[in-house]
Amino acid sequence: MLNSYFKIAWRNIVGNPLFSAINIIGLAIGLACCIMIAMFVRYEVSYDKHWDNADRIYRVTRDFLGNDLRLAAVAPPIAPLMKQDFAEVEDITRILSTGGVTLSRDDIRLREQQLVIADPNVFKFFNLEFVDGDPETALARPTDIVMSERAAARYFGDEDPIGQTLNLMDQADVTVTAIIKDLPDNTHMQFEIVGSIAAIPLMMGPDELESWGSNNYYTYVRLPEGFDPADLEAKFLDFLIRHWSEDAESSSFLSLQALTDIHLSSDRDGEWQENGSINTVYTFSAVALFVLLIACVNFMNLTTARSTQRAREVGIRKVVGAHRSQLITQFMGESILLTAIAMLLALVIVELSITGFSNYLEKPLEFSLANPGAIAILVAGVIVVGLFAGSYPALYLSKFKPAEVLKGSVSGSGSVLLRKGLVVFQFATSIALMIATGVVIAQMNYAKNADLGFDKSRNLISNLPFFSDLWELYEPMKAELEAHPDILSAVYSSRVPGMQNNDGSGYIAEGEQIVRENFIGIANIKVDYQWFDHYDIDFIAGRAFRQNEMRVPEPTEENPVVKAAAILNVSAARRFGWSPEEAIGKIIRSPLNRELTRVIDREVVGVIPDIHFSSLHNEIKATIFEEPSPNYGRRISVKLAPGDHRDAIAHFESVWSKLVPGEPVFWEFLDDRFDALYRSEQRQAQMFAVFSAFAIFVATLGLFGLASFTTERRTKEIGIRKVMGASVKDIVWLLTSDFTKLVLLANVIAWPVAYYFMNQWLTRFVYKAPFSEWAWLFIAAGLAALAAAWMTIVLQASRAATARPVLALRYE
């Protein structure tokens, strides 16, 4: 019996090449999309699951209420105090990311982006695998470092690195005490070299590890089995009040994040790296499934459309005694066989494209059939998809009554409505995907071309090293750079546009009492006096800094109040309750110590508009611009003249080598930094574009098949109409108008759906492209779908319409 089913199925597939090709190609594309997205999803959800006790490890995070800071890292005293206060804390560890320091050995000098400083227990905490050395003592001394195999190979090649020394920032020698295995790629933490936290007081001052303001230490805590993290979180407020401030409740709170949730769900200020997004995972999964669904719909539509061809077979089988269930089994078997062939083709597609896909996503995705689990999943996929696609046709075909079909009176019209509905579904999906692609692109262009309030063009950005005196380095560098004819200006700032700014302080307006509750937390940026001119920022009120306002002495016990100048953006002025004009001449005070005895009094000398300093994803922060400070970030922006930049860049590099010898030169263009802000959106847009192209292709393929069957079925009608006087135009319109109506209906459905979802998507941007900028996409997507449908149908329709009517009637 099975054998006979298989034979019939095979003959049907081979005997109807158009039908089979459309289904196999469509299903193969749908399956290939699903397989590749499934690999992506599996990789994304695998992040950090591989660590020992991953389900019991949490990251401590800190939020500040005053200036909307949501930090991924916390202050260094928190870890030891938590260990001391809470019995349920089994273990806790801190990691400080340095963001890049120079390490050297003889001629090898490298800027190590992935050098971190950590508590000695970090290796046991995450159970990192040691190749050499002792985890217990590896970071005992301040000068000990542990390297990954990959990092060690950069300096020592095949030599034994244990006991060897390296030089850190030309400041200190450090000794390699252990080698660990490279960290896997699927972790949110990225480090290759670990220094000892014991070095922190030596490098950053004796108070650093006691500082509650240095929220730079990623802190991980392990809780007992079955312990509810909310029970620990409930104790954090008292903890902060006890150790930090009585006003903790109104200014800051701590919380816990599951380690395994960080990669897909955390989007805090100061993450290790840009995390993935659970929304991306959901969106891509949904879109891949839609492509597969469209392919399944093709199968349903084409099978029922040509049901008259199978009706006789069904009638005869029933007459000779087949049960309906046997016929259902037979038809299901056929769709599973077809899906299996499509799966083989899909595997070829995946095999050919996986490397490109993996490079594109920058994820090490690997495709292998060696794993029996993978094969089981693919086989299960074939059965599920085959059963799904075959279900409706099987039920429909097996229902035919033998007496009727053998008389030849099956018109196949019962399924027409459903078929039309499915075509509408396919096109609505394709249209919605096209609109989604367009909106993502429109938003990206909007972000790229938005008036940010400053001129970011032709700016080369670099970081000045920390170890020297800021002014001794910056002033000669500025002078030498500006001597070049193609360099218009060079200015210092603590942050450059396109960066998140997590720096901030508490300020008190003039006349208010200096007590904690009067503090307003506001972000600040340190800039040189020419910075506003450099970035072409207009003033709403007042003026820019003057050169003589740039060097402000530290307040001391003898001279506790120091005078300085400040420039606010409009939001900052508003936070103090001032209009831009009112703000000029007002004094804002910033205390420098907890006792509030040393204070800088800043007179507001200017107010600038709210410029889009960071990405358009974020709200513009109230910001105070202040004079340069050596304890903040050190960036230099170099404005280049229009034209060829090579000479100016070469000049920058030679000035750098002269003034910062031994420090690897680093620079980037500000425009690139801004483009990078929208990289995930760009990738999303490209993925959407590819998927919607697949969706529309598969849908059009189905429409082609359907149109050819419909035209064939209507040959007689076409003949009659022509005999009655219909022209070629009339017939082409007759055949296309039905599908045209369906595509138009698909638009009516797709538009509101796409509008709703894309509006949702846009909520992630604080500054979004207005509807008027992307309204045209709805029409364009509709027309594109219509054009695709027409091109598919008109060819067949005109062939049918130009045939001599007598041929059509002889068809009877």
- Does residue 722 belong to the site contacting another protein (CB under 8 A)? yes
Neighbours of 175 (CB within 10 A): 14
Binder to another protein among 355, 727, 737, 760 (CB under 8 A)? 727
Q: Across the strands, what pairs with 526?
A: 626
Site string for another protein, 567-596 (x = CB under 8 A): ------------------------------
Neighbours of 569 (CB within 10 A): 27
Least Å distance between CB 725 and another protein? 3
- Does residue 799 belong to the site contacting another protein (CB under 8 A)? no
Residue written as token pair 């929220």: 215
Listed ranges 179-187, 587-595, 746-754, 797-805: which one lies at the site for another protein (CB under 8 A): 797-805
Which phi and psi angles does 689 have, rounded to 5°? Answer: -60, -45
Site string for another protein, 372-411 (x = CB under 8 A): -------------------------------------x-x
Give dist(CA 714, CA 741) in Å, integer: 18
The smaller minimum CB distance to another protein, of residues 131 and 418, is found at 418
The smaller minimum CB distance to another protein, of residues 173 and 812, is found at 812
The smaller minimum CB distance to another protein, of residues 377 and 806, is found at 806
The smaller minimum CB distance to another protein, of residues 218 and 709, is found at 709
Question: Long-range contact list for 49-53, CB < 8 A, 24+ apart?
Answer: 49/260, 50/184, 50/186, 50/187, 51/126, 51/127, 51/187, 51/259, 52/126, 52/127, 53/222
The footprint of another protein on residues 409-448 (CB under 8 A) is 409, 411, 413
The smaller minimum CB distance to another protein, of residues 57 and 808, is found at 808
Binder to another protein among 274, 658, 717, 756 (CB under 8 A)? 717
Q: Are 266 and 275 in contact (CB under 8 A)?
A: yes
Binder to another protein among 21, 286, 316, 806 (CB under 8 A)? 806
Cα dihedral sign, 635-639-645-647: negative
Q: What would the two tokens of residue 223 be?
A: 């809780």
- Does residue 210 belong to the site contacting another protein (CB under 8 A)? no
DSSP-derived 3-state class of residue 303: helix
Least Å distance between CB 416 and another protein? 9
Least Å distance between CB 802 and another protein? 7
Give dist(CA 591, CA 416) in Å, integer: 78
Least Å distance between CB 20 and another protein? 27
DSSP-derived 3-state class of residue 77: coil
Q: Are 782 and 430 in contact (CB under 8 A)?
A: no
Give dist(CA 726, CA 730) in Å, integer: 6
Least Å distance between CB 812 and another protein? 5
DSSP-derived 3-state class of residue 576: coil
The smaller minimum CB distance to another protein, of residues 534 and 722, is found at 722
Q: Angle between the 416-449 and 776-802 helix axes, to the nearest 10 degrees?
A: 140
The smaller minimum CB distance to another protein, of residues 481 and 742, is found at 742
Binder to another protein among 141, 563, 594, 716 (CB under 8 A)? 716
Least Å distance between CB 355 and another protein? 51
Binder to another protein among 726, 732, 762, 785 (CB under 8 A)? 726
Residue written as token pair 């263009």: 669
Which regions of 35-129 does DSSP assign to beta strands (E)? Answer: 57-64, 69-71, 91-97, 101-105, 108-112, 115-118
Least Å distance between CB 40 and another protein? 47
The smaller minimum CB distance to another protein, of residues 323 and 804, is found at 804
Q: Across the strands, what pairs with 179?
A: 132, 147
Give dist(CA 475, CA 139) in Å, integer: 39
Listed ranges 342-350, 460-468, 546-554, 720-728: which one lies at the site for another protein (CB under 8 A): 720-728
Q: What would the two tokens of residue 368 be?
A: 């292998």
The smaller minimum CB distance to another protein, of residues 131 and 720, is found at 720
Binder to another protein among 721, 743, 746, 778 (CB under 8 A)? 721
Least Å distance between CB 22 and another protein? 25
Instruction: Count residues binding another protein (CB under 8 A).
Output: 22
Give dist(CA 563, CA 548) in Å, integer: 12
Give dist(CA 376, CA 383) in Å, integer: 11
- Does residue 11 belong to the site contacting another protein (CB under 8 A)? no
Least Å distance between CB 807 and another protein? 9
| Category of 453 on φ-ψ map: left (φ > 0), alpha (ψ -120 to 50) or beta | left
- Does residue 775 belong to the site contacting another protein (CB under 8 A)? no
The smaller minimum CB distance to another protein, of residues 400 and 446, is found at 400
The smaller minimum CB distance to another protein, of residues 278 and 728, is found at 728
Q: What would the two tokens of residue 399 be?
A: 């229902």
The smaller minimum CB distance to another protein, of residues 488 and 728, is found at 728
Which phi and psi angles does 726 have, rounded to 5°? Answer: -70, 140
Binder to another protein among 582, 647, 730, 773 (CB under 8 A)? 730
Helical segments of 252-401, H only: 262-265, 278-305, 307-319, 324-361, 372-398
Listed ranges 7-15, 88-96, 137-145, 804-812: which one lies at the site for another protein (CB under 8 A): 804-812
Listed ranges 93-101, 196-204, 386-394, 727-735: which one lies at the site for another protein (CB under 8 A): 727-735
- Does residue 737 belong to the site contacting another protein (CB under 8 A)? no
Q: C-alpha 670: how far from its chain's center?
A: 20
Q: C-alpha 117: how far from its chain's center?
A: 28
The smaller minimum CB distance to another protein, of residues 350 and 405, is found at 405
The footprint of another protein on residues 33-62 (CB under 8 A) is none
- Does residue 719 belong to the site contacting another protein (CB under 8 A)? yes
Give dist(CA 128, CA 189) in Å, integer: 13
Give dist(CA 523, CA 67) in Å, integer: 7
The smaller minimum CB distance to another protein, of residues 202 and 807, is found at 807
Q: Give kind and range of the element (H or E) at residue 489.
A: strand 487-493
The smaller minimum CB distance to another protein, of residues 190 and 411, is found at 411
The smaller minimum CB distance to another protein, of residues 81 and 416, is found at 416
Binder to another protein among 728, 744, 745, 749 (CB under 8 A)? 728
- HEC per residue, 582-602: HHCCCEEEEECCCCCCCEEEE
Least Å distance between CB 306 and another protein? 17
Residue type, 484: H
Q: Across the strands, what pairs with 178?
A: 146
Give dist(CA 120, CA 139) in Å, integer: 5
Q: Are 197 and 117 in contact (CB under 8 A)?
A: yes
- Does residue 724 belong to the site contacting another protein (CB under 8 A)? yes
The smaller minimum CB distance to another protein, of residues 105 and 420, is found at 420
Give dist(CA 144, CA 198) in Å, integer: 9
Listed ranges 357-365, 377-385, 473-481, 802-810: which one lies at the site for another protein (CB under 8 A): 802-810
- Does residue 805 belong to the site contacting another protein (CB under 8 A)? yes
Cα dihedral sign, 520-522-525-527: negative
Give dist(CA 128, CA 156) in Å, integer: 21
Listed ranges 445-453, 582-590, 665-673, 726-734: which one lies at the site for another protein (CB under 8 A): 726-734
The smaller minimum CB distance to another protein, of residues 370 and 724, is found at 724
Binder to another protein among 278, 488, 720, 753 (CB under 8 A)? 720
DSSP state of 536: T
Give the binding site for another protein (CB under 8 A).
Answer: 409, 411, 413, 716-717, 719-728, 730, 802, 804-806, 809, 812
